[in-house]
Amino acid sequence: MTDTTLKTSGWGGSRLFTTATVQKAVAFVVLIALLAFFGLFAPNFATWSNMVGIMQATAVNGVLGVAVTFVIISGGIDLSIGTMMTLTAVVAGLLLTNLGMPLPLGIIGAILFGAFMGSISGAVIAYMKIPPFIATLGMMQIARGLALVFSGATPIYFNDTPNYGLLSPVSSISALIPGLEIPNGVLIMFAVAAVSSIVLTRTIVGRMIFALGSNEEAARLSGIKVNRWKILTYAISGGICGVAGLIVSARLNSAQPALGLGYELDAIAAAVIGGTSLSGGRGTVTGTIIGAFIMSVLTNGLRVMGVQEEWKIVVTGAIIIVAVFIDIVLRRKA
């Protein structure tokens, strides 16, 4: 008996190691391979400034990826993240430029608004029992329409909010550590990822999200208020989309109301490449960030290599499949 216990507990330990850590490690290997490939074959790829460029190009997709990771782990999907980002950017514009609110209030307002809209998606899914795909497809349209309505279909500029650039293009860290020119938007992405990772793995919120995604019925029968946690999950996603909205609008110094369509698929791809399972219950924020990096290294590398637009699209499509394939194969081996 003792023997069995020992054996199975050893088994269990290494299994746990497998699913959580190796999963990220796998995506990481793909990323390193891509970096090495482009470093060798794309002249001018491996420079610090290009790395900063890649990081900056990752920020928005990375943050949106984290948003959708919450939802996917909970067993849902969120197609509205792209246009929700746009809508919150517009709301930030209204609060800051049109209403002249101070910067911190505007930031909080935009994020809360994102969370509010997200919770509407969540409520529609939880109480009206609409499948998440449809509820968020509807919300994707609603957010896009509202972004156009609120903005009058013209960009809102942040010229009257001089510090708005702090939210993304400016690099505050370079003031502390000279030479480390990492833009704040990238740092915000890492901060969002770090907090999200803790929320998912260490807190009660994360536990409930994993439980929902693993077996919602079992969670319900265990006395968990499934609907409330579901709403919270979509609210978190919406709030994080708000952060993405701030980053993108700070970078463009304007809220562009027509942006965002199609961003949802990139974000979902980042999450899945990073090992998040579309059937729920499995995923990590770190994996998603690595997935987002894989996608932007790929895009950047192909651009720097000067690959033709058409072929770039083809290759990107193929590599998404290959990256997930490598992930699956290595994970099976591990």
Partner 1 sequence: MAKEADDRAGEENVTGAQPEALPTLVDMRGIEKSFPGVRALQNVRFDLRPGEVHALMGENGAGKSTLMKILTGVYQPDGGEIRVDGRPVTLRDPQAAQALGISIIHQELYLMNHLTAAQNIFIGREPRKGFGIFVDEAKLRRDAAAIFRRMRVGIDPAAEVGHMTVARQQLVEIAKALSYDARVLVMDEPTSALNETEVEHLFTVIDDLKANGAGIVYITHKMDEVKRIADRVTVMRDGQYIDTLPAATTPMATIIQMMVGRELADQHRATGRRAEEEVLRVTRLNRGDAIRDVSFALHKGEILGFAGLMGAGRTEVARAIFGADPIDSGEIRVHGRPRRIASPADAVANGIAYLSEDRKHFGLVTGMSVRDNVTMASWGRFMSGGLFMRDGALGDVAKDYVRRLKVKTPHVHQETRLLSGGNQQKVVIAKWLLRDCDILIFDEPTRGIDVGAKAEIYRLLEDLAAQGKAIIVISSELPEVLRLSHRIAVMCEGRITGELDGRTATQEDIMTLATQRAEAA
Partner 2 sequence: QETYFPIIAKGFSHQFWQAVKAGAEEAATRNGVTITFEGPNTEAEIDRQTDILNAAIAKAPQGLGFAALDSQAQVPALQQAADAGIPIVAFDSGVESDLPLTTCSTDNIAAAAAAADALAKAIGEEGQIAAVIHDQTSATGIGRRDGFLNRIAEAYPNIEVVDVQYANDALKAADNVKAMLQANPDIKGIFASNEGSAIGLSVALRETGSDIVGVGFDSGRTQKDAIMDGTLLGAITQNPVGIGQCVVDSLVKATKGEELPEVIDTGFYWYDQSNMADPTIAAVLYD
Q: Which residues bind a copy of itself (CB under 8 A)?
A: 79, 124, 128-131, 133-135, 137-146, 148-149, 153, 261-262, 265, 268-269, 272-273, 277-279, 309-318, 320-321, 324-325, 328
Examine residue 114 and tell whether it contacts partner 2 (CB under 8 A). Answer: no
The site partner of 135 among partner 2, partner 1, a copy of itself, none (C-beta below 5 to 8 Å per kind) is: a copy of itself
- Least Å distance, CB 264 to a copy of itself, is 10
| Residue 259 in tokens | 């942006």
Q: Which helix (H) or strand (E) holds 156?
A: strand 156-157
* Cβ proximity to partner 2, 27 vs 304, nearer residue: 304
- The 243-282 contact track toward partner 1, x by CB under 8 A, reads --------------------------------------xx
- Least Å distance, CB 6 to partner 1, is 8
- Torsion angle (degrees, nearest 10) of CA 83, 89, 95, 97: -130
Q: How far apart are CA 81 and CA 64, in angstroms?
A: 7
Contact present, 54 and 296 (Cβ < 8 Å): yes
| Residue 304 in tokens | 């720097």
- Least Å distance, CB 223 to partner 2, is 45
Q: Which of residues 181-200 bind partner 2 (CB under 8 A)?
A: 183
Read off φ and ψ for residue 146, nearest 5 degrees. -65, -35
Examine residue 331 and tell whether it contacts partner 1 (CB under 8 A). Answer: no
271: Cβ–Cβ under 8 A, 6 or more apart, which residues?
65, 68, 69, 72, 283, 287, 288, 291
The site partner of 318 among partner 1, a copy of itself, ligand ATP, none (C-beta below 5 to 8 Å per kind) is: a copy of itself
Q: Are strands 156-157 and 254-255 parallel, antiparallel or unpaired?
A: antiparallel
Q: How far apart are CA 215 and CA 271, in angstroms?
A: 20
334: Cβ–Cβ under 8 A, 6 or more apart, which residues?
18, 22, 26
* Cβ proximity to ligand ATP, 16 vs 191, nearer residue: 16
Give the three-state DSSP class for 129: coil
Question: Any idea what DSSP says for residue 165?
Answer: G
* Cβ proximity to partner 1, 217 vs 309, nearer residue: 217
Sign of the CA dihedral 104, 95, 68, 49?
negative
Q: Which residue in 104, 279, 306, 332 binds partner 2 (CB under 8 A)?
A: 306
- Which range in 26-34, 159-167, 223-231, 316-324 contacts partner 1 by CB under 8 A? 223-231
Q: How far apart are CA 243 and CA 60, in angstroms?
A: 9
Q: Which residue in 173, 182, 224, 305 binds partner 2 (CB under 8 A)?
A: 305
* Cβ proximity to a copy of itself, 198 vs 328, nearer residue: 328
Note the residues at the interface with partner 1 (CB under 8 A): 1-5, 8-9, 11-13, 15-16, 19, 202-205, 207-208, 210-211, 213-215, 217-225, 281-282
